[in-house]
Amino acid sequence: MKKIDDYNHKKVLVLGAGKSGTHAAELLKELGATVVLSDSKPSSELPEVAELQDSGIQTVTGKQDPAILDDGFDIMVKNPGIPYDNAVVAAAVDHHLPIITEVELASQITDAEIIGVTGSNGKTTTVTMITEILNQERAKGHAYAAGNIGISATETAKKATTDDTIVMELSSFMLLGIKTLHPHVAVLTNIFSNHLDYHKTRENYVNAKMRITMNQTPEDFFVVNFDSDEWRGLSKRSAAKVVPFARTTEIDKGAYEKNGKLYYNDEFIMNAEDIKVPGKQNVENALAAIACAKVLGKSNLAITNVLETFTGVRHRLQFVLEANGRKFYNDSKATDIEATQMALEGFDKPVVLLAGGLDRGYTFDKLIPQFKEHVKAAVLFGETADLLEDSLKKAGIQNIQKVDNIDEAVPAAYSFSDEGDIVLLSPANASWDQFKTFEERGDRYIADVEKLTNKQEGH
């Protein structure tokens, strides 16, 4: 860890607790700052607050009032999920107070090489693939996954050395709060129309994503999905060496699929069907990982050792278990239509789909082609059950059942299934109508599958 003086004798407001806020506050105090942490939740819901107070960090809980800025801060470290129209953040912008996120702070103190990964879908899987590949055949140091994957970037940066690599998953929210973060390799998996409630426009969302490459130089690499004219065009904004990957578009350099085989610059790497995790989207994630690994000098064996054995990230098209000839998959992270489209397209066997969740005001007719081709039956729950039912009926699906919750959905889905079928939770919706997080939703599904089959996850 670098011993920087940037925050010595500075007064810093950390807005939002949680892992990122807590670890940022602790690090800032270690760097000599006077730290105040503010969170809208009451202290009774923030067990970490007492420990922070014991270490000399002032905490203000139960409200977020712009008046706190009257205390004269030098900088704000903002929880990425807090929008810029939050009253305190908006007031900070008006006062021209610098605002960063925890990943920026982590990048300032680390001696390690940084790999950054962003995109609407596939970030976590790609980060995990890259991290595992970089840990193959490694003579010195270690590769660590951190950031939006759920692992504190600052805690990782504190322990990482010059021999190490930090593979950071970077959300658009995080990227809005960077100033100097400089990944040696930046990866853009794809861009769809996500988080427009936060960013207001697609243009703002795209611009936030593209901040991942804003500090790169010609000595760096920008790995970009070339399966969209838009994404290909975005690559021209980068000063780094562009390394394309493509599953459906014919390209003559980079990582690509051709006739079911994966190549890098015309060099055969592996067969697409040998990737352990199913789905076209995971071919794309693998191609992104291959491109990143090859520019960093990893061997084909290091790549195939991982991609032929990697069974998926929890809640992201994760294989749960097989029972009575049915394979159960947990894709709770599919919080939008595009993710469910890709999940369904990944299977060539009949799917019994479990779906539904928070109503964000759109229909599901975009899923009709995938429903027609892949779904034999569906069990629906949550606020969008009726909307999903309407689209499924348009697709000609007859076997549809609406239930109150996932606990009821799992046995109902099993009753529709036959030997050889896929039972898939891929909700196409956020979880917040019935669960706090998509992780909680996925964990409930796994528990219900284990109860139904009397088997354990991974068996």
Q: Give the pLDDT confidence of 277-286 residue by residue, as tens digits.
A: 888 889 999 9
CATH code for 11-100? 3.40.50.720
Nearest to 101 by CA among 123, 120, 77: 77
**Averaged pLDDT, 392-407:** 98
Span 146-173, mean pLDDT?
A: 96
Among the four given CATH numbers 3.40.50.300, 3.40.1190.10, 2.60.40.420, 3.40.50.11740, the one describing domain 103-307: 3.40.1190.10
Position 195 scores a pLDDT of 75
Residue 116, marked binder: no
pLDDT at residue 346, as a whole number: 87
Mean pLDDT of all residues belonging to the chain: 95
pLDDT greater than 80 at residue 132: yes
| 312 labeled binding residue | no
> Dihedral of CA 74/179/297/249: which sign?
positive
Q: What are phi and psi of 315, to 5 degrees?
A: 75, 5
Q: Strands 375-380, 399-402: parallel, antiparallel or unpaired by DSSP?
A: parallel
Let me know: does 294 contact 223? Beta carbons within 8 Å: no
Asked whether residue 122 is marked as a ligand-binding residue, the answer is yes
List residues bridging with 313 in a β-sheet.
316
Q: Which residues make Cβ contacts (< 8 Å) with residue 117, sequence separation at least 6?
A: 123, 126, 127, 130, 167, 168, 169, 170, 186, 187, 189, 288
- Give the H/E segment covering residue 174: helix 172-175
Task: Say whether 119 counts as a known binding-site residue.
Answer: yes
pLDDT of residue 425: 98
Tell me what the mean pLDDT of segment 222-228 comes to: 98
In sequence order, the β-bridge partners of residue 267 are: 264
Write phi, then psi, for 255 (nearest 5 degrees).
Answer: -105, 135
Q: What are phi and psi of 131, to 5 degrees?
A: -60, -45
Q: How confident is the model at residue 3 (pLDDT cuts 50, 70, 90)?
A: confident
pLDDT band at 459; cut points 50, 70, 90? low
**Closest to 225 (Cα-Cα) out of 302, 168, 281:** 281
189 is in an annotated binding site: no
Alpha helices per DSSP H over 11-164: 18-30, 48-54, 87-94, 102-109, 123-134, 153-159
Q: Is 288 exposed, middle or buried (0-12, 13-18, 19+ CB in 10 A)?
A: buried
Q: Looking at the chain, which residues constitute the CATH 3.40.50.720 domain(s)?
A: 11-100
Can you spell out the DSSP letters for 406-425?
HHHHHHHHHHH--TT-EEEE
Domain 318-453 has what CATH class? alpha beta
Confidence class for position 49, pLDDT limits 50, 70, 90: confident
Q: List, by residue range, all CATH 3.90.190.20 domains of the chain.
A: 318-453
Q: What is the pLDDT of residue 386?
A: 98
Average pLDDT over residues 14-29: 94
Record the tokens describing residue 42, joined without a space: 């009451």
| Residue 121 annotated as binding site | yes
Higher-confidence residue of 298 and 316: namely: 298
Q: 123 labelled as ligand-binding?
A: yes
**pLDDT computed for residue 311 by the predictor:** 81
Q: Which residue has the higher pLDDT, 338 or 185?
A: 185
